[in-house]
């Protein structure tokens, strides 16, 4: 199955992507400028007329006096299973997020956790996920995967619960392909928001909502720290599962793709991580971003990285409370 996937992607990615690729490259030059209006709404993007998903808004940021833990889960395709291990370790140590934001793979895991699944249940869900259940291939100049299967998978697992009715505030971060602006969704169709956040350019067909086309949130916020911060979190744990650019030669289409995204997102990643109190960075360098057979390794890496940092995390929380 993996070889078929590689062949299909290789053939399809040689279609004409010139216009959108130019837009994608320009997104990395876009200077992020997320700020809060008086109402507390993120105004990095224009308000969109979309009946299904609305722009991320809150009426008033929570009080800064209370400890409000924000969890920002970064993108990384199938490396994102590491987020499950991170959540498992945090919960085992009595650390419960108050608000969660996810980019790409982080939005998938984040949506399921915000619905109310335990880490053990998340693991069981992860083990039944594969290319067949999530990928709906197509031939198009805009991408080779529709993303509808992914949307339906999420909605089925959360019983079609809209974002605003999840058990925890949840923000799925996507990028407007035409303007380069990032946007955080926290209302409406959860599966559609996750699909937009996960729509890797030139692989997934961009998700159209209203008059806007949305792609992977990693192009604007690789780890969405600024979104939980804007929501009101005053203690932020960021999880970075991206592989750092290295001097090793890329071996195939997937490693080439990984290396390209990593290089282009370095500055954006730094902008986000400097706003976090804690950064957990599992060493996923030996994992492929497109391998569904490495779930257990990814989960274990996330768990071990978090346990290793637990003394530092608890010390930082205690310092914040005192």
Active site residues: 104, 216
Phi, psi for 182 (deg, rounded to 5): -85, 150
Residue 183 pairs in a beta bridge with 174
**CA torsion 13→150→196→218, rounded to 10°?**
-70
Beta bridge partners of 176: 214
* Cα–Cα dist 20/45, whole Å: 20
DSSP 8-state class, residue 62: P
Q: How far apart are CA 37 and CA 41, in angstroms?
A: 6
Strand partners of residue 295: none
Query: Do 276 and 237 form a contact (C-beta atoms < 8 A)?
Result: yes
Instruction: Tell me which DSSP letter residue 301 carries.
Output: H
Angstrom CA distances, 115 to 85, 103, 315, stand at 17, 17, 29
Q: Are 150 and 181 in contact (CB under 8 A)?
A: no
Among residues 178, 224, 171, 287, the alpha carbon closest in space to that of 32 is found at 224
Q: How far apart are CA 98 and CA 107, in angstroms?
A: 16
CB of 188 closer than 8 Å to CB of 180: no
């Amino acid at each position: 199955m993996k070889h078929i996937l590689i062949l299909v992607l290789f053939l399809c990615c040689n279609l004409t992507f010139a216009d959108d690729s130019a837009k994608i490259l320009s997104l990395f030059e876009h200077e992020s400028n997320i700020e809060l209006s008086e109402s507390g709404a993120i105004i990095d993007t224009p308000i969109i007329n979309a009946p299904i998903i609305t722009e991320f808004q809150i009426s008033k940021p929570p009080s800064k006096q209370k400890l409000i833990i924000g969890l920002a889960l970064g993108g990384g395709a199938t490396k994102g299973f590491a987020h499950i291990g991170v959540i498992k370790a945090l919960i085992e140590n009595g650390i419960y997020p108050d608000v969660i934001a996810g980019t790409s793979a982080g939005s998938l895991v984040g949506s399921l956790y915000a619905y109310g699944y335990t880490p053990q249940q998340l693991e069981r869900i992860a083990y039944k996920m594969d290319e067949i259940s999530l990928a709906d291939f197509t031939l198009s100049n805009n991408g080779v995967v529709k993303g509808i299967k992914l949307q339906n998978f999420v909605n089925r697992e959360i019983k079609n619960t809209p974002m605003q009715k999840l058990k925890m505030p949840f923000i799925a971060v996507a990028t407007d392909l035409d303007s380069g602006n990032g946007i955080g969704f926290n209302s409406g169709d959860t599966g559609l928001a996750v699909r937009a956040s996960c729509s890797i350019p030139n692989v997934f067909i961009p998700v159209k909502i209203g008059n806007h086309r949305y792609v992977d949130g990693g192009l604007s916020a690789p780890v969405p720290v600024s979104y939980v911060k804007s929501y009101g979190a005053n203690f932020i744990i960021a999880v970075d599962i991206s592989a750092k650019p290295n001097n090793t030669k890329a071996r195939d289409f997937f490693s080439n793709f990984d290396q390209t995204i990593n290089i282009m997102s370095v500055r954006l990643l730094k902008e986000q991580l400097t706003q976090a109190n804690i950064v957990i960075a599992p060493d996923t360098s030996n994992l492929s971003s497109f391998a569904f057979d490495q779930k257990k390794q990814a989960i274990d890496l996330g768990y071990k990285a978090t346990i290793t940092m637990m003394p530092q995390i608890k010390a930082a929380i205690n310092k914040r409370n005192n």
